[in-house]
Structure 1
Amino acid sequence: MRQAFPTTIGYAARIAFVAELAERLHSYGTTAQRLEGAIVAVAQTLGLECEPWVNPTGMILAFSDPSRPPGDSDTTRVIRVPPGETDLYKLCEADRIAEDVMAGKIGLAEGHAALRALDRPPSWRGVALRVLGFGLSSASVAGLLRLPWLDIATAGLIGVLVGLIEWLTPRRPRLREASDALAAMIAATVAVAVASFIGPLNLNTVVIASLIVLMPGMALTNAVNELTSQHLVSGTSRFAGAVSTMLKLTVGTMIAMTVAQMLGIEPQIRAWRPQPEWVELCALLSASFAFAVLFRANRRDYPVVMLSAASGYLISRLAGEAWGSPVGIFLSAMLLTAAGNGYARWIKRPGAVVRVPGIILLVPGSTSVRSLLTSVQQQDLAAGQEAALTVLNILLALVAGLLFGNLLLPARRNL
């Protein structure tokens, strides 16, 4: 049983640690309901009362000291933060630091300093690996779709270019707002050039595969999950952010294709998926590794992350062939959510290490962008209705799997 935290330690110091931890967890991609639960648990252990209000771009944390008369110690922190990105290594480190502070293994000042130390910039080796991870994930998704070798190579090349744009964006503030549209425009330009001057491509599919890391599938899933958890403001904001990303990707793609049409460039388009099953299996392995890199997992967690990503895809694929795609996605999400809760319960580390990679190949990001892109290309809303309905089915199956996974094996840790 955890010992009570000594409340003789400064009230302001305890608040500062909780606020710092909250900002870190938010920036590492934690959803609203899990973040609020984690912050309340840490605050209670530190002898604080905390009422958090979290949304994708900020937090309001209202603190009070239960040992003082009501109103004497009320403190409110308003924290403005950009939308977070999944960083499994830093998430695990922040969780470990919080656990050590609550257990009395390290002091508040030491814990605060350890959290700030997580801000160190990545090495050039890490940057290069991440850029290559973009290319590998794009080529792997094209392989999972059994596209021809030229399509796979093109998607991989474009993925590397997208990774370079993603690396440049924080260093060029003017790129930030237009980075998604710029990446999509470059992706479509390269794909059109290859299809026009080298060989025919599954054009739209190659563009979507090359932009797979930018697709808002995880954001859509988290948004609906937050809405079902009654975090209405956060869920609505996250959903709006996902839609805006879809629009920027579509706009960038259409700009490139329209310019090519105006210049009289006619890409050769085909619908051909000739690859055997072994290519799909190899692509699954490489995709699992690529997402371990892109989620910035600790090297010791690579086997767990890769196994989770591969298991989620295989469960969905096999169950989908037997009972239909929605059933496969539901079973996969449910089992991986339960597995993540079990991992957190018994291994004492964040369940996101299992849960997030487990559903990444199931989320409907590519399908949602495809539906919008098809509707804009054909100037007909009905053209994208089938894909839009597929997005809805995937979202419903995923969220149902997440909800019932938590019922199958309840989480004892919020992360």
Structure 2
Amino acid sequence: MNQDTYIARTRFVSEVGLSLHACGATSQRIERHLKSLCALLEVHGTFLSTPTSFTFCYCLDDPTEQRVQIERIEPSDGDLGRLEIIDALVNRFESHELDFEEMCVAFRALDPQQSYYGKWMQAVAWGVLSVSFAGLFTVVLSDCIAAGGISLLVFLLAQIGGKSQRLEPVIEIIVSIVAGVCAAVLGWMGFVMNVPLVVLSSVIAFIPGLSLTVALSEIAERALVSGTSKLVHALMGLCKLYVGALLGVGVISIILPLSGAFETEGVMLLPEWKTMPLVVFLSLSLTLIFNIRPKLAAWCLAASLLGFSTAQWASGNLGVAAGMFLGAFVVGTFSNGFANRTNRPASIVLTQGLIVLVPGSASYMVLDSWITGQNMLGKVTSMHEAFLTFISLVIGLLLANAILPSRKAL
């Protein structure tokens, strides 16, 4: 292999790594995928991926003669549709459908903003997500309606803030302040609703529950730098959201005092069989939010229903920790089986299944109870319980990967 070919191949690997990071893939999966890609391209590569930096190190034969590239990057959101496309290109190269030059051309022709769904469909998905989440924690229909309506405004603000470097670092604070103001005003106007729950539900797309689980999982797998960085970033995001909501509700409560006790008598209630339909709607909305192809929606829905049903049954019979462990184990084995059967990234199904399990909202409720001394759902939520739930999820995922490993790196 001559020097020009070597440089071209390493440049391509770096471009793939940065694109996978922009898709929201976890650090271990990115590093494993790039090592597999290097093996296909017959170069040696070592990688260190963190939420804010990416180090690429390449060599041909002599490890002392290395080509090093260091990139400063920003934490990213999830675009599982693009991740699937990138993985499919590498699969086509591995099966000799494309040569290296054709793969490079196809990869660089990809549109970073490509989406299977329009903005208005994504806005609807945010609303459905908030309504579904609120419905899982309340029986009052007005809570769901208020959360869904406010979430549409939150989506609009998120779209505006995402295009501004000045606003992006504080977008969590802005949207939670606006959500808090809107919910408090509605409460003052006489709408029967649980204001703290409505605020939480309207910003649920920003709650870093999955990020916290991924961070602990990476720490457990000894990716200490990346895992610790993600853990701190997720905790800071959670604090931004809570402080913003506290400011929004607090300011309006001073100007327009809220009414006293929260009463449900005489208001329209949700039916008792609400739970499973809401999980279905929640899963389908996540399919749009993560830009997953409609063709894979059934797989994602199956992962969500399996994980939620298992966790719900086990929690009622064995305790919350055991329920989360078994739910994560089922989702992990199902997603790895999906990857082995379809030759697609396990992350697509795994992310969907975990979302309905991760207790990010529990961490938010702990902050609320610590600061205000109140419990928004009328039950005690302790940090010990939330932390134990996170650890149970991580252990379930680790055992699932050990018992039924995925042949796919992503």
TM range (shorter): over 0.9
Matched, 1:231 2:226: no
Match of 2:153 in 1: 161
How far does the alpha carbon of each residue in 1:89-135 deviate from its partner, in whole angstroms, 9 at most, with x for none? 11110101112223332233332232233334347961111111111
Match of 2:164 in 1: 172
Counterpart contact for 1:200–1:267, Cα < 8 Å: no
Superposed displacement of residue 402, structure 1: 0.5
Superposed displacement of residue 168, structure 1: 1.3
Superposed displacement of residue 230, structure 1: 0.5
Matched, 1:21 2:11: no
Match of 2:369 in 1: 374
Matched, 1:387 2:382: yes
2:99 maps to a residue whose letter is G
Match of 2:313 in 1: 318
Show the 5 A alignment for 1:255-404.
255-270=247-262, 274-378=269-373, 386-404=381-399
Superposed displacement of residue 413, structure 1: 1.6
Counterpart contact for 2:117–2:288, Cα < 8 Å: no
Change (3 A) 1:41 1:373: same
CA distance in 1, matches of 2:63, 2:387: 47
CA distance in 1, matches of 2:361, 2:30: 27
Matched, 1:75 2:67: yes
Q: Matched residue of 1:363: which SS?
A: coil
Match of 1:87 in 2: 79
Counterpart contact for 2:173–2:244, Cα < 8 Å: yes
Matched, 1:107 2:102: no
Show the 5 A alignment for 1:21-100.
21-66=16-61, 69-72=62-65, 74-100=66-92
Counterpart contact for 1:52–1:62, Cα < 8 Å: yes
Matched, 1:217 2:209: yes
How far does the alpha carbon of each residue in 1:164-189 deviate from its partner, in whole angstroms, 9 at most, with x for none? 12211222222101110111111111
1:374 maps to a residue whose letter is S
1:24 maps to a residue whose letter is S
Change (3 A) 1:193 1:40: same
Q: Matched residue of 2:312: which SS?
A: helix
Change (3 A) 1:59 1:269: farther
Match of 1:408 in 2: 403
1:71 maps to a residue whose letter is T
CA distance in 2, matches of 1:367, 1:389: 11
Counterpart contact for 1:199–1:268, Cα < 8 Å: no
Counterpart contact for 2:79–2:291, Cα < 8 Å: yes
Counterpart contact for 1:169–1:175, Cα < 8 Å: yes
Match of 1:198 in 2: 190
1:198 maps to a residue whose letter is G
Selected match of 1:132 from 124, 130, 140: 124
Show the 5 A alignment for 1:115-126.
115-122=107-114, 126=118
Counterpart contact for 2:139–2:269, Cα < 8 Å: yes
Counterpart contact for 2:192–2:262, Cα < 8 Å: yes
Superposed displacement of residue 301, structure 1: 0.9
1:306 maps to a residue whose letter is L
Q: Which runs of 5+ in 1 are unaligned?
A: 1-5
Change (3 A) 1:70 1:303: closer
Counterpart contact for 1:203–1:270, Cα < 8 Å: no
How far does the alpha carbon of each residue in 1:145-199 deviate from its partner, in whole angstroms, 9 at most, with x for none? 2331110100101111111122112222221011101111111111111111032
Q: Matched residue of 2:169: which SS?
A: coil
Counterpart contact for 1:192–1:267, Cα < 8 Å: no
Question: Which stretch of the first structure deviates more once superposed, 105-114 or 391-400?
Answer: 105-114
Q: Which runs of 5+ in 2 are unaligned?
A: none
With normalisation by structure 1, the TM-score equals 0.92
2:201 maps to a residue whose letter is A
What percentage of aligned pairs have identical amino acids? Answer: 27
Q: Matched residue of 2:406: which SS?
A: coil
CA distance in 1, matches of 2:34, 2:284: 31
Matched, 1:244 2:244: no
Change (3 A) 1:265 1:55: same
Change (3 A) 1:33 1:120: closer
**Aligned pairs, number:** 405
Question: Which stretch of the first structure deviates more once superposed, 241-250 or 298-307?
Answer: 298-307
Match of 2:133 in 1: 141
Counterpart contact for 1:170–1:176, Cα < 8 Å: yes
Change (3 A) 1:309 1:267: farther
Change (3 A) 1:386 1:282: closer
Q: Matched residue of 1:62: which SS?
A: strand
Superposed displacement of residue 269, structure 1: 4.8
Counterpart contact for 2:215–2:230, Cα < 8 Å: yes
